[in-house]
Structure 1
Amino acid sequence: MSRLDKLIAELCPNGVEYKPLEQCCSILDNRRKPVTKAARVSGEYPYYGANGIQDYVSEYIFEGVFILVGEDGSVMTPNGNPVVNWAEGKIWVNNHAHIVEEKEGILLRYLYHFIQTVNVSDVIHGNIPKLTGKDFRAIRVPVPPLEVQREIARVLDNFTLLTAELTAELTARKKQYEYYKDKLLSFDADITTIPLANIAEIGTGSSNTNEAVKDGKYPFFVRSQIPLLKNEYEYDETAIITAGDGVGVGKVFHYVEGKYALHQRAYRIHIVDKRVLSKYAFYYIQAKFYDYISKAGFHSSVSSIRRPMLNAFEIPLPAIGLQKEIIKALDNFDKVCNDISIGLPAEIAARQKQYEYYRDKLLTFKEAR
């Protein structure tokens, strides 16, 4: 019998009381203050939104230890759980995240782990997903004795600490990857360059988001999102995909080989010039296009790419042999940093699953009657 089993058998053998979240903590939502990006003054203090740190600003409005839970926007994980962040020190929180502070009788760290187990999919509504204050405050929380809370938090923190260490190592490797990517894709000024329009077919798709289906056969690329699925394909080719507008502009590219469908507000870049390998072009665009589009992009309420911007983007033309060497080196880095079936990504995914398994198991209590 584990220490936790002994504590439960001794202190709460007949179950535990469940209470509304608002009775288990202090909810400080009335002290939040949103600040537009244009009005923020850069500084050292984290500025939090629905899904974590959005910026760093020169002032703070909270100081202490807090749980932050997404209120609107990116507020739910694929499993239907809330988006939860742990925050310490001096911080600023906007009005897109609920802010929770410890109250006597319930450990904040215990609450942090528990809130992540709650399925909120039935109470998230609206075109912009929202977890309202009313629904948030009503979440039912099992309240075991403090000794039990403390042991649960200790066990689960051991899992999160290991995951954090692995994640830090992966972050370091990704920085190394970006360094070498930039180095490999930087060429002498005298190398020949050519506009993208001269080496590729460029166009948008014709599909609409509501054409996606859960059990579709073909990848359906919708701007910067993870590919959806569709039952019919529009193209059968090797292509580079990027968003035409929205938050993914200039940042997120997909590389596809085979049959796929494309959203009407996403671009396909199909390389047709035999002097350019498609994978080389993908890596070059991925590395260099964001800086280019930041200067050339059309900025209104929604950032967007206009076709002439893509047409004019210059691609260097090193020898095919050098392109192959660049592809080989960057493919290896990409596997190490991003392939969830091997290395650190696989180990982090396994540890996260292990944490979630034990978290759900340890935080399930019989309700006392």
Structure 2
Amino acid sequence: MSSKLVELIDKLCPDGVEYKEFGKLAKILRGASPRPISKFITLDKEGVNWIKIGDINTGDKYVTCSKNKITEEGAKKSRFVKKGDFILSNSMSFGRPYILAIDGCIHDGWLSISEFEKYFISDFLYYLLSSNKIQKVMAQKASSGGTVQNLNADIVKNIELPLPPLAVQEEIVRILDTFTELTTELTTELTTELTARKQQYEYYRDSLLINNKLSERVLLNNVIKKGCSGGTPRKGEEKFYLNGTIPWLRTQDVKFNEIFEVKSFITEEAVKKTSAKWIPSNCVIVAISGATAGRCAINKIPTTTNQHCYNMEIDETKALYKYVYYCVCSQYEELLSRKQGARGDLNSTLITGIEIPLPSLKEQQRIVDILDRFDTLTNDIKTGLPAEIEARKQQYEYYRDKLLTFKKLERENIN
């Protein structure tokens, strides 16, 4: 905290700051959609900007353009917002604030926030609404019994916000702007480094595995001790899922990773009466259905899987499971080219029919050690570059939230 900010707080609000419901400090309204919207979309350059969720990229602060426009007639049936107003998404990934850099209209998936200038500097309000504390409050208030509801205008109106003097807000914005710039610069450098390391990793992986001309090449099937698909117990059968304790791995968990835990479980009854069977740890698992087909993983715990996973137990006398995993990962594009049917599925024959180089076990271990180091650097969220990027993000959020936390002024001290 800067000395100037400390001086301002000591001078202007030594006993704390007043908190008020947001609805008393700003005008908060729900958007509106003219229906059917297709009737009001226009190609006329003089049309009114029609601002949609898809017009905004993750991480944006400002809304600078809209892909569509609506007619003046449509605008009369919608909610008009002007440059400088805020909008919040009120469903799905709700609560993220954006500042309008254009005029336009918003549909009923947005809330508009305006007429706050008497109480808040725009950038201060942006930082405040983006803070973890306020985001958490919005998420909690928009949930009922664990079910996510819409973030309606009344919820946002009733959120209590601190109201520090404008001079304090200005200094906080100055500090956070500087910190944001430094954090963005460092994160960009780390991200650039991460991209370079990933390219280097792919080069070495392809050199060692795809372009390896020195080792004998064999069909993947030759190094598999046992292969099987999983099974999905009928969803309507409560006895297969209720209070289940047996790990059940789904295809969405298979994403070029080592899996140490799963979020879904089935019962002993499901294992006895369905095709969902246990597989040992350290199998190479390939997703075989639809959009996930071709992705692979290693289960680090014994588990069962759904029917869209093909599970391969590797013959350790011929190949290391981690080596085979890297080989399968390196042939992702080849697996994609083999997909069949309307959904783009794979099967055991298509997977086990790919060729892999098969050097000695000692050479396999050397290759695994090299690729493990690159994998840690580029993917490990605990020790690699992703961890460093995440640490910078958390550091920024910590100091931002600390600067935006104020002692609440007791009622008897409010004039």
TM-score, shorter chain, exceeding 0.5: yes
Q: Answer yes or no: is 1:277 the counterpart of 2:320.
A: yes
The SS at the match of 1:228 is coil
The Cα offsets for residues 282-340 of structure 1, whole Å up to 9 and x where unpaired, read as 2343344267437726666xxx7453576366242242466444423321122122333
The Cα offsets for residues 222-268 of structure 1, whole Å up to 9 and x where unpaired, read as 43358435799944321234556686x147643333x3334425525
Distance in 2, matches of 1:60 and 1:177, equals 39
Distance in 2, matches of 1:107 and 1:210, equals 52
1:3 corresponds to = 4
Distance in 1, matches of 2:334 and 2:146, equals 32
Mean CA deviation greater in 94-103 or 123-132: 94-103
The SS at the match of 2:283 is strand
Q: Answer yes or no: is 1:185 the counterpart of 2:220.
A: no
Matched-pair contact (CA < 8 Å) for 1:277–1:323: yes
Change (3 A) 1:188 1:97: farther
The SS at the match of 1:254 is strand
Distance in 1, matches of 2:105 and 2:318, equals 51
Matched-pair contact (CA < 8 Å) for 2:251–2:287: yes
Q: Answer yes or no: is 1:18 the counterpart of 2:59.
A: no
Matched-pair contact (CA < 8 Å) for 2:88–2:111: yes
Distance in 1, matches of 2:141 and 2:156, equals 12
Measure how far apart 1:279 and its partner are: 1.8
Distance in 1, matches of 2:285 and 2:249, equals 8
Mean CA deviation greater in 146-155 or 199-208: 199-208
2:280 corresponds to = 236
Distance in 1, matches of 2:222 and 2:157, equals 55
2:273 corresponds to = none
1:123 corresponds to = 142
Distance in 2, matches of 1:113 and 1:251, equals 41
CA RMSD of aligned residues (A): 5.0
2:123 aligned to which of 95, 109, 116: 109
Q: Answer yes or no: is 1:352 the counterpart of 2:352.
A: no
TM-score (norm: length of structure 2): 0.61
Change (3 A) 1:268 1:3: farther
Distance in 2, matches of 1:362 and 1:353, equals 14
Measure how far apart 1:179 and its partner are: 2.4
2:377 aligned to which of 336, 339, 342: 336
1:319 corresponds to = 359
Change (3 A) 1:58 1:361: closer
Distance in 1, matches of 2:168 and 2:86, equals 20
2:49 corresponds to = none
Matches within 5 A, 1:129-278: 129-134=148-153, 135-183=155-203, 184-185=205-206, 187-188=210-211, 192=217, 194=219, 199=224, 201-204=227-230, 221-225=249-253, 227-228=261-262, 234-241=278-285, 249-250=292-293, 253-257=296-300, 259-264=301-306, 267=309, 269-273=311-315, 274-278=317-321
Distance in 2, matches of 1:160 and 1:277, equals 46
Structure having the larger proportion of residues in strand: 1
TM-score (norm: length of structure 1): 0.67
Matched-pair contact (CA < 8 Å) for 1:49–1:94: no
The SS at the match of 2:252 is coil
Structure showing greater radius of gyration is: 2
Matched-pair contact (CA < 8 Å) for 1:64–1:89: yes
Matched-pair contact (CA < 8 Å) for 1:74–1:129: no
Unaligned runs of 5+ in 2: 38-51, 70-80, 254-258, 268-276
Change (3 A) 1:210 1:180: farther
Measure how far apart 1:144 and its partner are: 1.9
Matched-pair contact (CA < 8 Å) for 1:234–1:261: yes
The SS at the match of 2:302 is strand
Change (3 A) 1:49 1:307: farther
Change (3 A) 1:241 1:308: closer
Change (3 A) 1:368 1:331: same
Query: Counterpart of 2:206 in structure 1: which amino acid?
Result: L
Q: Answer yes or no: is 1:47 the counterpart of 2:73.
A: no
Change (3 A) 1:181 1:306: same
Measure how far apart 1:219 and its partner are: 6.9
The SS at the match of 1:224 is helix
Aligned-residue sequence identity (percent) comes to 24
Distance in 1, matches of 2:180 and 2:350, equals 43
The SS at the match of 1:148 is helix
Query: Counterpart of 2:152 in structure 1: which amino acid?
Result: G
Change (3 A) 1:224 1:19: same
Measure how far apart 1:124 and its partner are: 2.5
Distance in 1, matches of 2:367 and 2:13, equals 61
Change (3 A) 1:93 1:129: farther
Query: Counterpart of 1:350 in structure 2: which amino acid?
Result: A
The Cα offsets for residues 51-85 of structure 1, whole Å up to 9 and x where unpaired, read as 669xxx9936699778775544455xxxxxx5x37
Measure how far apart 1:141 and its partner are: 2.3
